[in-house]
Structure 1
């Protein structure tokens, strides 16, 4: 057998043994004889030309090659399980859309970006995962996700075969609870100087929006009292709802922010804009829900975040 000719049944047995921690337990799970599983592992090792397990006392442990192979096997069989789930959902009349949501993305914005999917003729089951931007891109490249929603685009020259689609663009507003808005609001001609010393809740410094906000403060000679910095936008909004400080929100979501967080507008910041992107992978046949998201963003008037 050539080394490139992997028997995936043998690979599956290896994966089960590695996850069960031994051949005996794996054989019980598979409903096979211990000798059968052991011989299949031997055939896989011969095919790969690598030893995948080593005996350590009475235990089997993965070798370095085994740990490397397990990482790929995890991806292969996870995708296989997802494929089966997707096919089962197809029979039920639903389409499955697996979405990665960047932890810095406002949740209201994520909903707006996915709103077109909820209006499709064929029902869609939306499965959402939240994580850091880089981790989500890696999962997208491995086709564990259909799309990633985020507030930044993929850098030019990135090695991953993924593509950035800007869906929306919105100027920002400063908002806060009615008590804070009354204290630091006032006439438009006093804004933003009336924000000097005001308590602010800001995105963490690794957030794409934070640099724009800091630059705006410097340009207008405003020195805020930064009482909190957050990587998680939902947590920032929760603190804002409790009146711990003023915060920035997309102007297109001002009504939603007022309804959900009880925060009212203090002033408009047109020079600070936030962009919202959908990142897709390189596929010749585009997911119908992804097409709906792109079509929805083109029809949006005015642009909404």
Structure 2
């Protein structure tokens, strides 16, 4: 196999079109096209199909891209790895964050490793399925999430429980004063901000309202927890947040605690492809875990 052809194919697949790949590589589109066709002849399969103004991978192309992507991403890291080997070793930790996971909580969960002088931390936020795919390809060392993944016969994932936290209602001083009067029934009369339905805790919050016979005045729903707190701190409405980060909420956002969402708990897990974790930083993160790992 001509690996130059494979590299051209990888760039086209990454960029989504031959014109963008040609611009990135500084060559003519015709050169890109001929290299990709040569690779297709070598493999005996079509790797691309037209889609809109660009190209999409065929099933054969997807299989080829997964292998090529791992190869060339490792190749891109080679100079850096050589430089590191020639100096003081660096402890890398690549962490995937399920979108919607509270950012203040992520910082709290990662605190045990942040004083490591040789640390190089990489954080990627994405959808759960995208993070699991990256974990399977060993681009991530672990994934932090608030829910257990569904069964997947093609991927063995172990969930290590990191703990849980209750939730409370928060708001600016003016809203907090009004909300404390007749709490929790006041939550049915005042504007509230909620995590979007994709968040694992949202269903519990909805049940909390139902258990108290309340119909909330929802003025905003946010996929990003930091945005939810930012708009809450601006006075748009009351919002729920995990109790584990109370001090940070007060200091960073200037908000006040109103009352607890009784019986609502948000759980947190670290997902890995190993039952017994060997990465030294991941092992350090697992030390405060309050429960055993679960195969998912």
- Provide TM-score, normalisation by structure 2: 0.79
| 1:96 corresponds to which of 79, 83, 92 | 92
- 1:76 to partner: Cα distance: 2.7
SS at match of 1:205: coil
Higher alpha-carbon deviation: 209-218 or 156-165: 156-165
SS at match of 2:158: strand
Is 1:114 aligned to 2:110, yes or no?
yes
Between the aligned partners of 2:202 and 2:59, the Cα distance in structure 1 is 43
2:268 corresponds in structure 1 to 276
Encode CA deviations 1:49-90: one digit per residue, 9 max, x unaligned: 336689xxxxxx898477433454223312432465455445
| 1:171 corresponds to which of 145, 166, 170 | 166
Encode CA deviations 1:170-207: one digit per residue, 9 max, x unaligned: 11111111110011114xxx431232211110011121
Name the CA shift for 1:97/1:170 in 2 (closer, same or farther; >3 Å): same
Listed as ranges, the gaps of 5+ residues in structure 2 are 50-54, 291-296
SS at match of 1:119: coil
Encode CA deviations 1:121-145: one digit per residue, 9 max, x unaligned: x521101111122221121112121
Encode CA deviations 1:83-113: one digit per residue, 9 max, x unaligned: 6545544544321111111221010010011
Is 1:263 aligned to 2:258, yes or no?
no
Between the aligned partners of 2:283 and 2:82, the Cα distance in structure 1 is 20
Higher alpha-carbon deviation: 80-89 or 258-267: 80-89
| 1:212 corresponds to which of 199, 204, 219 | 204
Listed as ranges, the gaps of 5+ residues in structure 1 are 1-5, 55-60, 299-305
Whether contact under 8 Å (1:198, 1:224) holds in the other structure is: yes
Is 1:200 aligned to 2:192, yes or no?
yes
Is 1:133 aligned to 2:125, yes or no?
no
Larger radius of gyration: 1
Name the CA shift for 1:205/1:65 in 2 (closer, same or farther; >3 Å): closer
Name the CA shift for 1:249/1:64 in 2 (closer, same or farther; >3 Å): closer
SS at match of 1:144: coil
2:294 corresponds in structure 1 to none
Name the CA shift for 1:17/1:193 in 2 (closer, same or farther; >3 Å): closer
Between the aligned partners of 2:35 and 2:179, the Cα distance in structure 1 is 75
Alignment of 1:1-305 (within 5 A): 11-12=6-7, 14-15=9-10, 21=18, 42=38, 48-50=43-45, 64=58, 67-68=61-62, 69-82=64-77, 85-86=80-81, 88-89=83-84, 91-120=87-116, 123-156=118-151, 159-186=154-181, 190-282=182-274, 286-297=278-289
Between the aligned partners of 2:92 and 2:41, the Cα distance in structure 1 is 39
- Provide TM-score, normalisation by structure 1: 0.77
Between the aligned partners of 1:62 and 1:199, the Cα distance in structure 2 is 45
Name the CA shift for 1:195/1:142 in 2 (closer, same or farther; >3 Å): same
Whether contact under 8 Å (2:194, 2:228) holds in the other structure is: yes
SS at match of 2:287: helix
